[in-house]
A = this chain, B = another copy of it.
């Protein structure tokens, strides 16, 4: 079981392996920008969408075409893309010291109220992989539209260990 390794708490890579989660290919930028920038010990990610092979895996608005459960799946899918990107960029998820900031933009109709539940689709995956003690601050807001018609966009900033 996770966390019962006699040598200490399970690493993110161990947790990922034990949970059977398969990471997708890391997403490529959709325009004139880069996927990640590291400055000091902070790693900034570009906005993560629920895309597969450059196409939207989910399309629609929460409260209209999509229900909360589907929104959670979209948020989780975007978070998987983020994990794939961080693993590719850092070589190992174990270089993540802390998830500093998770911002979640959700496309909603006017009177949608379940933002926190949708965002938890991303938050719970991050907690599963990095552990509760690395949980981030979070901001969630309902927006009008997102690139490619996606229902969810994630902002992520990580604290990472220094390059060796």
Q: A: which residues have CB within 8 A of B? A: 29-37, 39-42, 44-47, 61, 98-103, 105, 107-113, 115-117, 119-120, 123-124, 127, 135-149, 153, 155, 157, 159
CA of A45 to CA of B147, assembled, Å: 24
Q: Verify A116–B37 contact, CB threshold 8 A.
A: no
Partner of A148, one of B36, B100, B113, B145: B113
Specify how many copies of this chain sit in the oligomer: 3
Those 6 A-B pairs whose CB atoms lie nearest each other, nearest first = A142-B145, A47-B139, A32-B123, A33-B138, A46-B137, A31-B116
Min Cβ gap A144→B in Å is 4
Q: Which residues of B sit under 8 angstroms from A30, Cβ to Cβ?
A: 116
Partner of A111, one of B41, B103, B120, B145: B145
Q: Which residues of B sit under 8 angstroms from A39, Cβ to Cβ?
A: 41-42, 98, 100, 159
CA of A32 to CA of B69, assembled, Å: 16
Q: Verify A143–B140 contact, CB threshold 8 A.
A: no
Q: Which residues of B sit under 8 angstroms from A146, Cβ to Cβ?
A: 115, 140-142
Looking across the interface, which residue of chain B has its beta carbon closest to that of A63? B145
